[in-house]
A and B are shown apart, each in its own frame.
Chain A
Amino acid sequence: MTKSSPDYQANQSLYARLFEPQVIGKMPVGTQILVYSALVIWTLFVLFPIYWVLITSFKDIADVNGGPYFLPWIDFTPSLHAWKELFVVDYEDTLTAYMNSIIIALASTLLCSMIGSMAAYALARIEYKPKFGTIALFVVSMILASIAVGSYGIDWKIAVAVALAIFALMARGLSRRFTRSVGNGDILFWMISQRILPPVVVVVPIYMMFQQLHLLDTHIALILTYTVVNLPIVVWLMYDFFVSIPKDLEESAQLDGATRFTTFWEIVLPMARPGLAATTLLVMILAWNEYLLALFISTSNAQTMPILVAAMNAGERGILWWSMSVVIIVMIIPVVAMAIVLQRFISKGVLLGAVKG
């Protein structure tokens, strides 16, 4: 069989097909051009708004109002006036908002990750069997308490305390009689489903609650609110992680004398680090950027950065685009920094398990 024989050539192409699959990504040139132009167009679409905000923050008022200018030093002279105004002249408001945002985002993320991971871990490992009857008892006692407060004007603290006491007593006495119970899956679903609640459903009562407690416009109010709002995400993502960690390790630790909490802290959490990093980042972004709840709960002292952004829409002076752009830019920077720091821990496809369903 010579190289030119038709047999050889037919075999050659067959061999080529069987044993030398096309190198993936070795697409025809036309396809390549299409793919890259699609990616580049999307890159421009993603980056252009940010670029525009960035240059607006360096524009003079006249340059903003006087029609589009695109390139610094070429069609307009960059100026630091907006930056100066925010960080030199009016630095107190800016820094307060910045500090508020940092404190609130960090604290709520920390609290949320902690509480959420603990609950997720417990649901992944410990069997819960709350009885239907006990839950019903709790609901009934709470309804009674609200009726007492609503219709008879009893102080809510007393009503709640009494209702809880009655519930505790009754539950202790009656719990053995109840038979039907809910399982871990139900609790998990209950927790995760809280994410469906639109903030507008709960924000007014939360507002009133903090008003009653004189906690409106404080850090703690926003921290607690953000913690609860983001809790379902943490529980959901971390549950999946904990389930995938081999039980052996925890049992071994238990035998070696560790308590549940030590096991969680020393063994489980460090092993769940990739998931924890991703979850933390997500929760942090959500807390950092949140606007609606902050609008309700904070007015001046606990004002966060998104509120400051909105504050640049300042009544009679119109929108201060330049200052607003500065605020938006300084809001993006820490999140990107955070993402870069945490990126090390986040392995590819970390969040995939939970989403797989």
Chain B
Amino acid sequence: MTPQNSGAPVTRPEPDAPAGLAAPTSHRARLSEWIDRRAGTFFIMPAVVMILIFSIFPLVASLVMSVSRIRLRAGGYKVSFVGTKNFEKQLFGSEQFHFLGTFREISLLGWVVMVLAALVLVWWLYRYVRSQFWWLGFIGRLITANLAFAIVALAATTLLSGNNFGTLGTTLFYVFVGCSIQFIIGLGLALLCSQQIRGRNFFRVVFFIPLMVTPIGIGYAFRMLADTTKGPFSIVWQWVGLGDFAWSTSAWAARSFIIIGDSWQWIPFIFVILLAACENIPRDFVEAAEVDGASQRQIFLEITWPQILPVAVTVMLIRMIEAFKIVDLPNIMTSGGPGIATESMSLHSLFAWRSLDLGQSAAISYLLLFVTVVVCVSFFNIIVLQRVRQT
């Protein structure tokens, strides 16, 4: 059983027969071949170069600026090295009230909370050391614990002691309180819309709209809405006796006001993704549970929640990263006021830049970057990796 064609002469009577590609001969073909061989480089280089130039270089330059004093001179800048002075000024010096807050006297409650927090964190570290130990993991946890303590201490010494807090506290307020509210409402709406209700598509389209509106527009729109004399709710204001109430005088009102604006814009984001996650749960799971006689609450706790948890965690991580950068809304709605009550760190840095204090501006933005990274990495490590380790 030999193949019929063995030994057939290898000639090609039809020269234009489209057989294999010949080795490239023309210049163009050779060029395209050369490029193809280096495809890996060509594919990734644009992104890498762009990031290096517009992200890494500015990052380094900003670091340099944060340890410098920069003065505008005719036709250029004068840069002089000042070490950590810029940071010291924010953390301990004349700007401390602005960045961290004022620490006049610390109330008993403040002390109690601080001591409790310290104990909890030490216990947490101790438990880690006892159960497993890896020096990098320990250092990471140490940083997390220190930052957590710093945050609690900041809250205890300002908020709980009746002192004003600075832009750091305000930013953390926006991040933690704002994100929690947005998550709860976003999740609630997603759960409602994942039910088989009438007009589902209408609601999901409408709920998505705020994400498409420019933040600065939202800022001004909410300013109009909140106007106590000419805004649409002025009647309500007058009725409750706040007709001459001014947003610009109440710190907490102003902060809540900004969180409302921020939530209006960002709940849609959380809603859309959590809704997709809910709808992605296989129908049989829920139906099987219903057949087994599970209540709605049980279905949520046993099926829906575990299924959407990974998505929820990631969404919150993204949302937190973006929330740390909040700047447009406080800038437009309150200009950071009253005083510095609604000023976020981004806005603080922006104001410093406006007053041409570039070194301070860079130092603040670096502090912001530091806090963002530590909080987000801690969140990621503690929540996401915890789950990975468990499963």
Question: Do B350 and A200 touch across chains, with their CB atoms under 8 A apart?
Answer: yes
In the complex the two chains form, is A351's CB within 8 Å of B273's CB? yes
User: How far, in angstroms, from A356 to B313 measured CA to CA in the complex?
Assistant: 9
Interface residue total, chain A, C-beta cutoff 8 A: 95
Give B308 Cβ to nearest chain A Cβ, in Å.
10
Q: Indicate if the CB atoms of A355 and B311 lie closer than 8 Å.
A: yes
Other contacts beyond A126-B43, A200-B365, A261-B36: 13, CB < 8 A: A39-B203, A46-B264, A67-B229, A198-B345, A201-B366, A201-B369, A205-B62, A208-B61, A289-B216, A292-B328, A328-B217, A348-B279, A355-B318
Which of A38, A118, A146, A285 touches B47 (beta carbons < 8 Å)? A118
Q: What are the 8 tightest A-B residue pairs by CB atom distance, in nearest-first order?
A: A25-B196, A260-B39, A122-B43, A119-B47, A205-B58, A202-B58, A289-B214, A205-B61
| Chain B stretch 73-91: residues in CB contact (< 8 A) with chain A | 79
Nearest CB of chain B from residue A228's CB, rounded to whole Å: 4
Structural contact, A53 and B224, CB atoms closer than 8 A: yes
Q: Does B150 make an interface contact (CB < 8 A)?
A: no
Give the nearest-CB partner of A24 in chain B. Answer: B196
Kindly state the separation between the CA atoms of A351 and B275 in the bound complex, as whole angstroms. 11
List residues of chain A with CB within 8 A of the CB of B332.
310
Question: Which residue of chain B has its CB nearest to the CB of A225?
Answer: B54
Show the binding face of A for B, using Cβ within 8 Å. Answer: 17-18, 21-22, 24-25, 27, 35-36, 38-39, 42-43, 45-50, 52-53, 56, 64-68, 70, 115-116, 118-119, 121-123, 126, 128, 146, 150, 187, 191, 194-206, 208-209, 224-225, 227-228, 231, 235, 257, 259-261, 264, 285, 288-289, 291-292, 305-306, 309-310, 313, 319, 321, 324, 327-328, 331-332, 335-336, 339, 348-352, 355-357
C-alpha gap A231/B291 in the complex (Å): 47
Tell me which residues across on chain A come within 8 A of B207, comparing CB atoms: 42-43, 46
CA distance A70 to B224 in the complex (A): 13
Beyond A25-B197, A205-B61, A205-B62, whether A291 also contacts B214 by CB under 8 A is yes
Give the docked Cα–Cα distance between A118 and B42 (Å): 9
Output the residue of B44, B47, B229 with the most chain A CB within 10 A.
B47
A227 touches B273 (CB 8 A): no
Q: Which of A196, A348, A352 has the most CB of B within 10 A?
A: A196
Surface stretch bound by A, among B126-134, B140-148, B230-238: B230-238
Of all chain A residues, which has the CB nearest B229?
A: A67
**Which residues of chain B are near A310, meaning CB under 8 Å?**
216, 332
Q: What A residues does B291 contact at CB under 8 A?
A: 17-18, 21
Task: Verify if B55 is at the interface (C-beta below 8 Å from A).
Answer: yes
Interface positions, chain B 204-237, Cβ under 8 Å from A, are 206-218, 220-222, 224-225, 229-235
In the complex, what distance in Å separates the CA atom of A319 from the CA atom of B21?
Answer: 68
CB distance from B42 to the nearest CB of A (A): 8
The answer to whether A198 touches B365, judged by C-beta atoms less than 8 angstroms apart, is yes
| A-contacting 9-mer, from B113-121, B249-257, B319-327 | B319-327
- Roughly how many angstroms separate A213 CA and B249 CA in the complex, as a whole number? 45
Is B197 touching A291 in the complex (CB atoms < 8 A)? no
> Are B328's CB and A118's CB within 8 A?
no
Which chain A positions have C-beta within 8 A of B40? 122, 126, 128
B35 A261 Cβ-Cβ under 8 A: yes
B339, CB-defined interface residue at 8 Å? no
Verify B321–A195 contact, CB threshold 8 A.
yes
In the complex, A240 Cα to B210 Cα: how many Å? 27
* Closest residue on chain B to residue A354 by CB atoms: B314
- Chain A minimum-CB-distance residue to B350: A200
B170 close to chain A: CB less than 8 A? no
A194 and B313: CB pair below 8 A? no
Is B182's beta carbon under 8 Å from chain A? Answer: no
A192 to chain B, nearest CB (A): 10
Cα–Cα distance between A63 and B46 once the two chains are bound (Å): 53
* B346 interfacial by beta-carbon distance below 8 Å: yes
Pair A118/B58 contact, Cβ less than 8 Å: no
Q: Give Cα A196–Cα B210 distance, bound, in whole angstroms.
A: 23
Q: Are B55 and A228 within 8 A (Cβ)?
A: yes
Find the residue from B40, B217, B368 having the highest chain A CB count within 10 A: B217
Contacts of B277 in A (CB 8 A): 349, 352, 355
25 CB-based A-B contacts, threshold 8 Å: A22-B290, A24-B287, A35-B197, A42-B189, A67-B229, A68-B235, A118-B46, A126-B40, A146-B64, A150-B64, A195-B321, A196-B321, A199-B346, A204-B353, A205-B62, A209-B53, A228-B53, A231-B50, A231-B51, A260-B43, A288-B214, A328-B220, A352-B280, A355-B273, A357-B311
Please state if B214 and A306 are interface contacts (CB–CB under 8 Å).
yes
Assembly CA distance A196 to B376 (angstroms): 9
